[in-house]
Structure formats: C-alpha cells, structure tokens
Amino acid sequence: MIGTGGKTDDANIGNRDVPDVVLEDSGSAANKDTQYWHLVTEPKGGVSLLNMSGGRAAAIRTGNATVGQKIGRRVDNSPAGSWNVVKTADGYYKFQAVKNTTVYLTGASRGAALTLQNPVADGSQEWRLVQR
C-alpha cells in the first residue's frame, strides 16, 4: 500500500533528500488517512495522487522523471499532473510518469521509498484502486 510513513505535511525533499512516499502494510499507520489517496485529473490530462491526510501530491522528488528518482509529498501545483494511469490486463493499475513514459511508480520492498523504475513484471508496479 502507498503510504507516507504517518506524515501529514510536506516531505523534506529539498537539500535533505528525505522523500516520504513509501510502501507500507495496509493498516500499519496510526493515522489511516496517510494511506488513502485520491486521483485528480489535471487540466493538461495527467493525474495527481493526492493524500487524504493533507492533500499533498505524490510527486517526483526532483521533477526529473528518471530511473531511481524517489517520490515525496508536495503541494499539487502541476497542471499536467505527475502520472498517466494505465490499466493492466489483470485489473490492476500502473502509474506511468507523465514526463517520461518509459518509467513507472515502483514499490520494491516494504518500508522503502517509492521510486521510478523501468517496466518490470514482478508486481511491484501494479496497484489496486479501491473506493473508500
């Protein structure tokens, strides 16, 4: 599950390089809203993932959509959004970077920061969308 490590304000993703969008176990956060996200289609067609706990967007740390970039929460100020939502054949969804359609939002291991990676077939880029 995509979470924020229980944090509700902006990530410290400037000079400190502490992105905080991480892969968590469902229900593991004391503040459950930090594990809930809603999708907002932006004016230029991309999608923003907005966290329910503070309305911050899951955004690419540097703004450069390259392999290895970490994801942190910040104010949603992108008219293009960060993501294209791609439905898979088995009913899951992938989040493809708007700025570089060859990389995808990836949760490689529990507790680790979400990153951008090239396509893989191990399930780490497949997400289930559920209504709350």
What domains can be seen in the chain, in order of their start residue? 2-117 (2.80.10.50)
66 token code pair: 């390259």
Compute the chain's Rg from CA coordinates. Answer: 13
- State the virtual CA torsion across 110, 15, 50, 91 in degrees, nearest 10: -40
pTM of the full predicted structure? 0.91
Q: What is the pLDDT of residues 64-122, one digit of tens each?
A: 999 999 998 888 878 878 999 999 999 999 999 999 999 999 999 998 999 999 999 99
pLDDT recorded at residue 109 = 92
The answer to whether residues 62 and 24 touch, using CB atoms and an 8 Å cutoff, is no
Asked whether residue 17 carries a pLDDT value surpassing 70, the answer given is no
Q: pLDDT band at 14, cuts 50/70/90?
A: low
pLDDT at 104: 98
For the chain, how many residues are written? 132
> Can you tell me the distance from the alpha carbon of 118 to that of 44, in angstroms, rounded to the nearest whole number?
24
Name the amino acid, one letter, at 100: N
Report pLDDT digits (tens) over 28-55: 999 999 999 999 999 999 999 999 998 8
Structure tokens given for 106: 């990836």
The confidence score (pLDDT) of residue 63 equals: 83
The pLDDT of residue 38: 94
- Phi, psi values for residue 59, rounded to 5°: -125, 155
At residue 132, the pLDDT reads: 79
Question: CA-CA distance, 35 to 86, in Å (whole number)?
Answer: 21
